[in-house]
Structure 1
Amino acid sequence: MNALEYRSFADAWEERATIRTRPRRRIEDDQRLIYPLSRQPLVQSATFQRACPHLRDFVLVQSLYKFINDVVIFETEIVDRTARRIAKDRFTVRFPFACRYDAMTVVVDEDYHALVAMDFLQQTIALTGLEPIALPTEIELSRAIPSALAQVPEALRDALELICVGIAENTLTDDVAAFARDDTVKPSVKGLMADHLLDEGRHSSFWARLTRIYWQGAPEVDRQMIAQVLPVFLGQYLTNDIQQAFDFKLIEALPVNETLRQSLREEVLGLAYPINHQHPLLGNILRFFRSSSMLESPCVQEALRGYLP
């Protein structure tokens, strides 16, 4: 695909964007879960199940708060920044107006997602009476993108930023879908995630198409420099450090004795996935590399050798 072949999704946005079509989601006071058990392994650990299963809902509520906090950081500090610069034609990689218009719809969508997430956080506090514990001030991408950009010449940083955001947006789509499919959680949570997913499906395609436009026109020397940095980005993006630190704070907030806390910490230490082809997010990431045509390049295949099955 070249820039002249790009077709805007403006009509689809007008007809289906959640900011155009969805009502406010109101949290239910029912017995369903507020956060999927599958997304918080701590509550399913042997020690937790044996010693403090009655604290499950506290852990799940706090885990929802972190998820919402992560969404707000991701949407407003990561995606918004890149999409807004593309929309305003302040990006080193130049795109035609149709791309820039679509980029502005991404800005609107992402800021709206952050607003909805903040609304849901306030509703949850009002329903449960539980205030959030100290939440992280950054997400994995807050570290991974700057680390990767520092490894390439300034002239390539916008292009690499585009690729990093494209990887993240294509990963997030499946992450949100897991929420939307889980029938154990409250309908409002499922609805919230289904709304988000409706927009993110459009976004993931947008970032893949823009990356494809860039990659197919990039000089081979630029492709090679960017490919060499991809493992740096993936290594930091797929780490479990921030989640682990949060889980430790969560364990510290539990009304249990120190011996039990230490046992729970040891359980958490064993939850990290290896950062290789076995990582559960790798399937989505590799799909992005294929759809953007990047994986057709020998330099990318070589750089990702440790991540390919």
Structure 2
Amino acid sequence: MNAHYRSFASDWEHQATVRTRPRRVLEEDDKLIYPLCRQPLVLSAGFVEHCPQWRDFVLVQTFYKFINDVVIFETEIVDKTARNIAKNRFSIPFPAACRYDAMTVVVDEDYHALVALDFMQQTLEQTGIAPLELPAAIELSRAIPIAQTQTPTHLHDAVELICVAIAENTVTHDVAAFAKDDSVKQSVRGLMADHLADEGRHAIFWASLVRHYWQTASDEDRYGIAQVLPVFLQHYLTNELQRDFDQLLIEHLDISADARQVLQAQVSALTFPITRQHPLISNIMGLLRRSGLLQTPCVAQALSAYLPVPGSPS
């Protein structure tokens, strides 16, 4: 890997947001704090009919959940994996340059969490809306351990590495869409753009590590990992936690029992099948292709349900 790995240490020195960005301050204007298109509840027919006056409350609470998810993702998952690599505590060996880069990822992710918490406090002070009880876990918190339990112990770090790489590439796509929505406050869009600037670098870093591991993995280990990838995706891409949170939100709206029942039914019916049409699947398959996994027959076979049908547009 020494011959092929290109460190981004110099890029980090000049580009990392922890070194180059001023503090973002939340504006007091009429723009949204969270995109309407990312909270289907407020766009539903029942909500528009019965309680449109609760829109901003729902958007603020959804923003709090988003911030909370970012903090969990950055500090409890990515930080842990990157720190173990940086301190040479990972079962997969990586060269010194890679371990140094891993520590810059730790710094970046902890800084993202710090900025996110700052925005949560600014939002509370500006709106006077206190956050509801926020989830203690995210989908990734559950999906990685489930995948690991279905592989031998010696593959747990490799599974963690691949799952984190998938998530880091997915969040890059997610944040990019958020940053481009001009209905949202400029400071929030700036927060997302700052995050994106670092996450683009991270996505390349994790893909490089997965590629390195995959080139050295045995056929038996490759097969074992291939079998758990669909399991991971089913638990990672679920929207169950979001549905649970939306139901909690509905309980806190001052509306009639009939209106509450309508909204609860709409949220319960809102599902996103985890198929090849899922909006994040093509992004994930792209990462697996760039990392060399999809070129391995056992992986392609295990993930065949998510790959484009031959002859159809990819």
* TM-score in terms of structure 1 length: 0.99
Give me the whole-angstrom Cα distance separating, in 1, the residues matched to 2:282 and 2:61: 28
Which whole-Å CA distance do the structure 2 matches of 1:256 and 1:44 have between them? Answer: 17
Which residue number in structure 1 is paired with residue 150 of structure 2? 151
Task: Report the AA paired with residue 151 of structure 1.
Answer: Q
Q: Does residue 28 of the first structure (1) align with residue 41 of the second (2)?
A: no
How far does the alpha carbon of each residue in 1:99-118 deviate from its partner, in whole angstroms, 9 at most, with x for none?
10000000000000000000
Deviations 1:213-244 (A, max 9, x none): 00011111100000001011111001111100
Aligned to 2:165: 166
TM-score of the pair, normalised by structure 2: 0.97
Question: 3-state DSSP class of the match of 1:190?
Answer: helix
Superposition map of 1:1-309 within 5 A: 2-309=1-308
Measure the CA separation in 1 of the matches of 2:294 and 2:304: 11
1:140-193 CA distances to partner (integer Å, 9 max, x unpaired)? Answer: 011100000011111111011000000000000011111110000000000000
| Amino acid across the alignment from 2:272 | Y
Q: Is the 8 A contact 1:75 1:111 kept in 2?
A: yes
Deviation at residue 270 of structure 1 after TM alignment: 2.5
In 1, Cα distance between equivalents of 2:269 and 2:204 = 35
Does the 8 Å contact 1:208/1:288 carry over to 2? yes
Cα distance in 1, alignment partners of residues 125 and 178 from structure 2:
22
Q: Identity percentage over the alignment?
A: 65
The aligned amino acid for 2:37 is S
For the 8 Å contact 1:3–1:213, the answer to whether it is kept is no
Query: Residues of 2 paired with 1:207 and 1:262: CA distance?
Result: 44
Q: Secondary structure at the match of 1:121?
A: helix
Secondary structure at 1:267 match in 2: helix
**Residue type matched to 2:303 in 1?**
L
- How far has the Cα of 1:62 moved from its partner? 0.3
- More displaced, 267-276 or 25-34? 267-276
Q: Distance in 1 between matches of 2:231 and 2:149?
A: 10
Indicate the SS of the match to 2:181: coil
Distance 2:114 2:271 in 1: 31
Q: Return the offset for 1:3.
A: 4.2
Which residue type is aligned with residue 82 of structure 1? T
Please give the per-residue CA displacement for 1:248-303, whole angstroms capped at 9, x wherever unaligned: 00000111112111110111122221011111110111111011111100000011
Q: 2: distance between equivalents of 1:267 and 1:14?
A: 48
Amino acid at match of 2:61: Q
Cα distance in 1 for residues equivalent to 2:283 and 2:120: 28
Q: Which amino acid aligns with 1:73?
A: I
| TM-aligned CA deviation for residue 308 of structure 1 | 1.3
| 2:311 counterpart residue number | none
Amino acid at match of 2:242: Q
Residue identity matched to 1:225: G
2:198 & 2:268 partners in 1: Cα distance? 35
Q: 1:26: how far off? A: 0.3
Which SS does the other structure have where 2:23 is aligned? coil
When the two structures are aligned, how many residues end up with a matched partner?
A: 308
Matched residues in 2 for 1:30 and 1:126: separation?
Answer: 15
Superposition deviation, residue 4 in structure 1: 2.8
